Amino acid sequence: MLDQNNIQERYNTKQQYRLDSLPFGFEEEDPTWLDYGYTTVPLGIRKGTNDKFLFGGMTRYKAIFKNGEYQDLVGRAYAVYPHEAIDKIVSELAKDVGFHIKDTNFTHGGKAKYWEVMSERFDNFKIKDSFEKDDEVAVGAVIRNGIGVGIALGADLFTYRLSCLNGAVARGKDIGTISIHHVGAIDVIKTKFVQGLTQIFEQSRKLADYYQQSVYIKINKRIAERFASQLPDKYLPNFIEVDTNKLTGKQEVYLRDNNVDLWRGFNDMTEKLWHSETAGFSTIRSGELFIHRVLVSEVNRKREGNQ
């Protein structure tokens, strides 16, 4: 239990206005991840109206602090998993599951981290009848972790097209994804990840089939309008044009080529996103997830005879 001297030393006095106005129970801090600069402190009930607030019991919330700086307010059951701790787990899993780390990215001011990993045990797959000869796709995953920003620890299927060197993240009920809520000890995470990542890589075969079937679907105006509804014009393929009325804001979508298949359109858009010099990782990832959702739903639509 911290005494007042230790509290003043550990928690930033520049934020004293926060510390005074919110009745944190610093004496009951959880220093589990103090080596990485993280502590959590329960939030109490403010009692009294004088300048010095009295601690009147615990609430259902606690605060996350990093190096003495207030970060976020979360539920009492929420468990902080520092990126450094997940780094170690990812490195250990690389041998157990069979993958290598391709890249890492941060969002939310460093509060969320993503690891792009490529499988070494699952073979690449080729897309038959593709617009491009010897169109080969490698299999991977994007592991994610957030600290107090609503991003669950987990992973999503990731594919990497070798001919143009661009990747795309996929997630949904029809394709591989796992999420582990920030509750409980970190010791159980490795077992869940071994099972989950293996399952994700295995489900890449299902995504490969979606890719293959998209070759045989032509992009019509309805599909073009779906893409244009959420993607900025600069990420749309050249054969889809959007004219926006400056007064009403209403969009009119024009399809300049009726003979382009969904697979080619998918790659035109993901390539523009992936190689963008201005888009941040969050923009790229959200765009890829949306494009995947459209592709999967359109293949399902054809299977159901609604194309």
Same domain for 192 and 239, yes or no, is: no
Same domain for 156 and 99, yes or no, is: yes
- Residue 185 confidence (pLDDT): 78
Domain end: 20, 53, 75, which one? 75
- Residue 13 confidence (pLDDT): 46
Among 166, 164, 158, 115, smallest CA distance to 139 is for 158
Residues 206-243: tens digit of each pLDDT: 888 999 999 999 999 999 999 999 999 999 999 999 99
Cite the DSSP H helix spans in the chain: 4-10, 16-21, 83-93, 189-202, 204-214, 221-230, 262-274, 281-303
- Residue 53 confidence (pLDDT): 46
Among 31, 34, 29, 32, smallest CA distance to 44 is for 29
- Residue 47 confidence (pLDDT): 60
**pTM of the shown model:** 0.80
Same domain for 289 and 189, yes or no, is: no
Cβ pair 204, 159 in contact under 8 A:
yes
Confidence of residue 179 (pLDDT cuts 50, 70, 90): confident
**Cα–Cα distances in angstroms (integers) from residue 166 to residues 39, 131, 137, 288, in the given order:** 39, 16, 10, 11
**Distance between CA atoms of residues 284 and 207, nearest Å:** 19
Same domain for 204 and 89, yes or no, is: yes
Q: What is the average pLDDT value for the chain, to the nearest integer?
A: 84
Same domain for 291 and 239, yes or no, is: yes
Same domain for 142 and 66, yes or no, is: no
Q: Which structure tokens are listed for 236? A: 């749309």
- Residue 172 confidence (pLDDT): 60
**Cα–Cα distances in angstroms (integers) from residue 20 to residues 14, 52, 53, 169, 247, in the given order:** 11, 8, 8, 44, 50
Same domain for 122 and 228, yes or no, is: no
Q: Which of 58-67, 178-187, 220-229, 287-296 is predicted with the least confidence, judged by mean pLDDT?
A: 178-187
- Residue 56 confidence (pLDDT): 53
Query: Which residues are within 8 A (CB) of 10 and not within 5 positions of it... i.e. 6 or more apart?
Result: 2, 26, 39, 68
CB atoms within 10 A of CB 298: 23
Give the sheet arrangement for strand 54-66, strand by strand: 38-47, 54-66, 69-75
Same domain for 105 and 193, yes or no, is: yes
159 — alpha (psi -120 to 50), left (phi > 0) or beta?
Answer: beta
Tell which wins on pLDDT, 16 or 219: 219
**Cα–Cα distances in angstroms (integers) from residue 34 to residues 31, 40, 104, 114, 305, in the given order:** 5, 9, 24, 22, 57
- Residue 17 confidence (pLDDT): 43
- Residue 7 confidence (pLDDT): 66
Same domain for 149 and 226, yes or no, is: no
Q: Which structure tokens are listed for 206? A: 């299902």
Residues 256-300: tens digit of each pLDDT: 999 999 999 999 999 999 888 888 888 888 899 899 999 999 999
- Residue 117 confidence (pLDDT): 92
Same domain for 258 and 278, yes or no, is: yes
Domain end: 186, 213, 240, which one? 213
Same domain for 243 and 161, yes or no, is: no
Among 190, 236, 224, smallest CA distance to 87 is for 190
pLDDT at 154 over 60: yes
Domain end: 213, 240, 273, which one? 213
Exposed (0-12), middle (13-18) or buried (19+): which is 239, by Cβ within 10 Å?
middle
Domain count, the chain: 3
Cβ pair 235, 287 in contact under 8 A:
yes
- Print the domain residue range for 252: 214-303
Residues 99-136: tens digit of each pLDDT: 999 999 999 999 999 999 998 888 888 999 999 888 89
Same domain for 107 and 158, yes or no, is: yes
